[in-house]
């Protein structure tokens, strides 16, 4: 056997020196010839770059286009955007490059949007928002605060009144806020502390916020670009807002649980479901009410006639304080220790924590080890529930039911 090994070594060296020469087989057994032939083949394949049987385990196994073109020894590396700096022209609230970088040289615009399912009031403009916040307003109802920064929408609505929590959101995202009104005693003085001068509470500022002519409670529409220009003309322009804090990557984080569905219950008559769509890699919002003709089906943006689809859906838990049935404070600013949240992306769910270490920086998310959690690049929907809101999980189907102390 030692003699055979020595002979194989000599023959390999011969192949390297003269790969085109024929190797004589006289005097060798059939097994020895087979062994030599295998050695020659392996050496020649290594020399020409062809794969050998032993190298098949190095072949790429990933499924996306970038990984399909990878060489056997390459490791796919995904770009991580944030949380401190962002490439030129990349929106720090989505991790995506914007069509018009000039839009990033302004304050974000928050529009208050009703979700009270009466009188068939479909929504406009929600799919153009970078982030949408959803929260409880009393009497079993919820409301949206839609944030526009990387792109605008000419028709947004139906616009409704401002609430105390919008002062926290406006401060954290250095935004201006458009609405149709607010409680002059219990709400507006509270907002003056957090976003003095940066909120509008009327419906006669066309085209920024104006009635569409019907003059009913749900007939007010907004225009994010027009409202931004209005505040700039009033001296509230901010050409370089610091919106750092969020982190994005196409790489799917480890340790995710099955999370293909998330039910959101504010009341028995006010609920929705987010369902993961593998084709678009986004979550589709399903809902029930007059805005969907009293059927449970996807909620449509009337500007696009397409269902609302979001890359990330987040349920975070925050302290609610109820003063009246329809008057609440939701404390988002000052959360330095961390409260719990659940993030849904790519059909998976992650238990994380959220913090607001600074009053004028966006909400930040961290994994169990305290590292910035990497959201999927794209738009994000954030549901704000109370600290005592329970969660039920069954085979990737999550249910969240609103509750506060």
Tens of pLDDT, residue by residue over 1-12, are 444 344 333 344
Cα–Cα distance measured from residue 167 to residue 187, given in angstroms and rounded to the nearest whole number: 9
What's the confidence (pLDDT) of residue 386? Answer: 97
H or E element: which one contains 233?
helix 224-233
Mean pLDDT of 105-120: 84
pLDDT over 60 (residue 202): yes
d(CA 349, CA 376): 12
Q: Could you tell me if residue 34 is inside a domain?
A: no
The encoded tokens of residue 351 equal 């238990």
Q: Is residue 75 part of a domain?
A: no
pTM, entire model? 0.81
CB neighbour list of residue 135: distance below 8 Å, 6 or more residues apart:
142, 143, 145, 163, 165, 330, 383, 384
- pLDDT tens figures, 354-378: 999 999 999 999 999 999 999 999 9
List the single range of 74-88, 136-150, 192-206 with lowest mean pLDDT. Answer: 74-88
CA nearest neighbour of 227 among 175, 181, 272? 175
**Is it the case that residue 150 has pLDDT exceeding 90?**
yes
Per-residue pLDDT tens digits for 270-285? 889 999 999 999 999 9
Smallest Cα–Cα separation from 139: which of 270, 323, 329, 264? 270
d(CA 309, CA 397): 18
Q: Token pair 């590396």 is at which residue?
A: 77
Summary mean pLDDT of the chain: 84
Beta carbons of 270 and 362 less than 8 angstroms apart: no
Confidence (pLDDT) at 57: 32
What confidence tier does 74 reach under pLDDT thresholds 50, 70, 90?
low
Give the pLDDT score at 175: 98
Which tens digit of pLDDT belongs to each residue from 38-54? Answer: 433 333 333 333 333 33
Residue 14 pLDDT > 50: no
Q: Which helix (H) or strand (E) holds 203?
A: none
Residue 12 within a domain: no
pLDDT value, residue 215: 65
pLDDT value of position 211: 86
88 lies in some domain: yes
pLDDT greater than 50 at residue 330 = yes
Q: Could you give the CA distance from residue 127 to residue 196 in angstroms, rounded to a whole number?
A: 28
User: Of all helices (H) and strands (E), which one includes residue 227?
Assistant: helix 224-233
CA 43/CA 20 separation, integer angstroms? 12
Domain of residue 384 covers: 83-401
- Range scoring the smallest mean pLDDT among 46-50, 54-58, 85-89: 54-58
The torsion of the CA quartet 113, 116, 120, 125, rounded to 10 degrees, works out to: 20
Q: Is residue 380 in some structural domain?
A: yes
Residue 318 maps to which CATH number? Answer: 3.50.90.10
Would residue 310 count as lying in a domain? yes
pLDDT for residue 183 is more than 60: yes
**CA 68 – CA 345 distance, rounded (Å):** 23
DSSP-assigned states of every residue in 130-146: SEEEEEEEETTEEEEEE
First and final C-alpha spacing in the chain? 80
Share of the chain above pLDDT 90, in %: 69
Q: Quick one: pLDDT band at residue 168, thresholds 50, 70, 90? A: very high
CA distance 209 to 197: 16
Model confidence at 78, pLDDT cuts 50, 70, 90, reads confident
How much is the pLDDT for 156? 96
Q: What is the pLDDT of residue 40?
A: 34
* Strand ranges, E, within 241-338: 247-249, 257-258, 261-267, 270-277, 282-287, 297-298, 300-301, 306-307, 309-310, 312-318, 320-324, 327-330
Mean pLDDT of 341-346: 98
Instruction: Report the distance separating Cα 82 and Cα 97, nearest Å.
Output: 13
Tally of domains in the chain: 1
**What does the pLDDT read at residue 405?**
81
What digits encode the pLDDT tens for the residues 120-133?
567 999 999 999 99
For residue 41, being part of any structural domain is answered with no
Q: Is residue 26 part of a domain?
A: no
């Amino acid at each position: 056997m030692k003699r055979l090994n020595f002979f194989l070594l000599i023959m390999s060296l011969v192949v390297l020196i003269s790969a085109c020469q024929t190797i004589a087989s006289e005097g060798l057994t059939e097994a020895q010839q087979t062994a030599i032939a295998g050695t020659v083949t392996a050496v020649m394949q290594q020399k020409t770059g062809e794969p050998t049987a032993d190298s098949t385990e190095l072949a790429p196994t990933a499924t996306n286009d970038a990984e399909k073109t990878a060489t056997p020894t390459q490791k796919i590396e995904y770009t991580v955007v944030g949380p401190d700096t962002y490439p030129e022209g990349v929106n720090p609230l989505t991790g995506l490059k914007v069509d018009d970088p000039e839009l990033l040289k302004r304050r974000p615009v928050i529009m208050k949007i009703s979700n009270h399912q009466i009188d068939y009031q479909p929504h406009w403009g929600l799919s153009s928002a970078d982030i949408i916040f959803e929260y409880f307003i009393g009497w079993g109802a919820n409301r949206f605060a839609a944030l526009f920064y990387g792109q605008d929408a000419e028709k947004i609505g139906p616009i409704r009144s401002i609430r105390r929590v919008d002062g926290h959101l406006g401060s954290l995202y250095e935004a201006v806020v458009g609405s149709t009104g607010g409680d002059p005693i219990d709400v507006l003085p509270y907002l003056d502390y957090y976003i003095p001068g940066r909120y509008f509470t009327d419906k006669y500022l066309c085209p920024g916020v104006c009635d569409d002519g019907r003059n009913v409670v749900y007939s007010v529409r907004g225009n994010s670009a027009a409202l931004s220009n209005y505040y700039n003309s009033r001296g509230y322009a901010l050409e370089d807002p610091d919106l750092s804090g969020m982190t994005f990557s196409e790489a799917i984080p480890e340790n995710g649980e099955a999370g293909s569905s998330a039910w959101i219950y504010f009341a028995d008559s006010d609920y929705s479901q987010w369902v993961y769509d593998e084709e678009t890699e986004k979550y589709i919002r399903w809902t029930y009410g007059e805005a969907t003709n009293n059927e449970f089906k996807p909620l449509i943006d009337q500007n696009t006639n397409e269902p609302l689809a979001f890359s990330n859906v987040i349920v975070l838990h925050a302290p609610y304080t109820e003063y009246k049935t329809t008057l609440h404070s939701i404390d988002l600013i000052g959360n330095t220790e961390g409260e719990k949240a659940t993030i849904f992306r790519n059909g998976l769910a992650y238990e994380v924590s959220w913090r607001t270490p600074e009053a004028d920086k966006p909400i930040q998310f961290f994994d169990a080890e305290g590292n910035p959690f990497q959201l999927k690049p794209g738009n994000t929907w954030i549901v704000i529930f109370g600290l005592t809101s329970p969660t039920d999980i069954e085979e990737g189907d999550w249910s969240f039911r609103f509750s506060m102390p």
